[in-house]
Amino acid sequence: MPIMQTRRRFLSTLSLVGAVNLAQASQSLSAEGPLETETVRLAYDGGICFSPGIAEDLLHAEGFTNVRYVDVSGGPRTFESAGFDFKTIAPWDVAVRIDNGESVVVLGGVHIGCFELFAKEGIRSVADLRGKSAGSAWTRLLALMATHVGLDPAKDIRLVTDQTLKPMELFAAGEVDAFLGFPPEPQELRARHVGHVILNTTLDRPWSQYFCCMLVGSWEYVRNYPVATKRVLRATLKAAQFCASEPARAAQRLVDSGFASRYDYAFETLSGIPYERWREYDAEDTIRFYALRLHETGFVKSTPQKIIADGTDWRS
């Protein structure tokens, strides 16, 4: 995605750099040694809970001169086939990727929450979905939610998995009983006064106790460019802190950069997620939790220990 460096954007960059105290960071850059590469390719999937656009100026401040974006909003794609180096990915998704043998490595957690499960009137909990229908692009998470309350997602719920059927629109039309949404979908449903929320992963246990988005890199990039990898992770975490401290400016940044179409949806999303709490959560524990749930339900064959051993690196 090409992004112009206008005067307004340049001034905003200076302000953002100052907001995260990058003057102090410049001292550590020289101690780390030079970047092995000044290029980084970031995947973008259309979500607005954490867009790579927020981290772009921070990446420039870390020494990257060539920050590229790869649009993967059409659906899940591997790092190799899509040609990107880093992506923020849900832990249940990356656990499946690792189990499938994809050469990826989880580097750290970014934030919690952001998924919301909407339902029709009369449905008050996930357990009430027995015999009902539900749709989402995130059917694995929906299945884990059902399993957590004792339901068999394969037998007790009619899952709408075909995205060409537009599950959110089916829910809005009353043809599906529940819908699991990811920003900006929950914001759209609220604006249209459709359904009510029965589960929010930002607030409801056990989901609120674990990371939702994690920074994942390709093994090739991480292995060949360890200094660059460390700086990408640092810029990502500083971007999360920026979302926490100034959600209004972060939301405007998404709109100005073309990563979000509506400021109100972006602001609602960014101001509702406790980005500043990333230090309180354990990235390895997150992978272990989801890998165990996935293993128990048959989504992955590997044990949590193997997934952690094969696909994580916390040294950055």
Query: For 239-249, what is each residue's pLDDT tens digit?
Result: 999 988 999 99
- List the chain residues with pLDDT less than 70: 1-31, 51, 75, 316
Sequence spans of domains, the chain: 7-112+210-311, 116-200
10 Å Cβ neighbour count for 112?
23
Q: What integer best gives the mean pLDDT of the chain?
A: 86
What pLDDT was estimated at residue 126?
Answer: 96
Helix (H) or strand (E) holding 271: helix 263-272
**What are the Cα distances from residue 48, in Å, to 3, 96, 183, 207?**
17, 23, 6, 19
The fourth-level CATH superfamily of domain 116-200 is: Periplasmic binding protein-like II (3.40.190.10)
10 Å Cβ neighbour count for 12?
17
7-112+210-311 and 116-200 have identical folds: yes
What pLDDT was estimated at residue 31?
Answer: 65
**Topology of domain 7-112+210-311, CATH:** D-Maltodextrin-Binding Protein; domain 2 (3.40.190)
pTM for the whole thing? 0.84
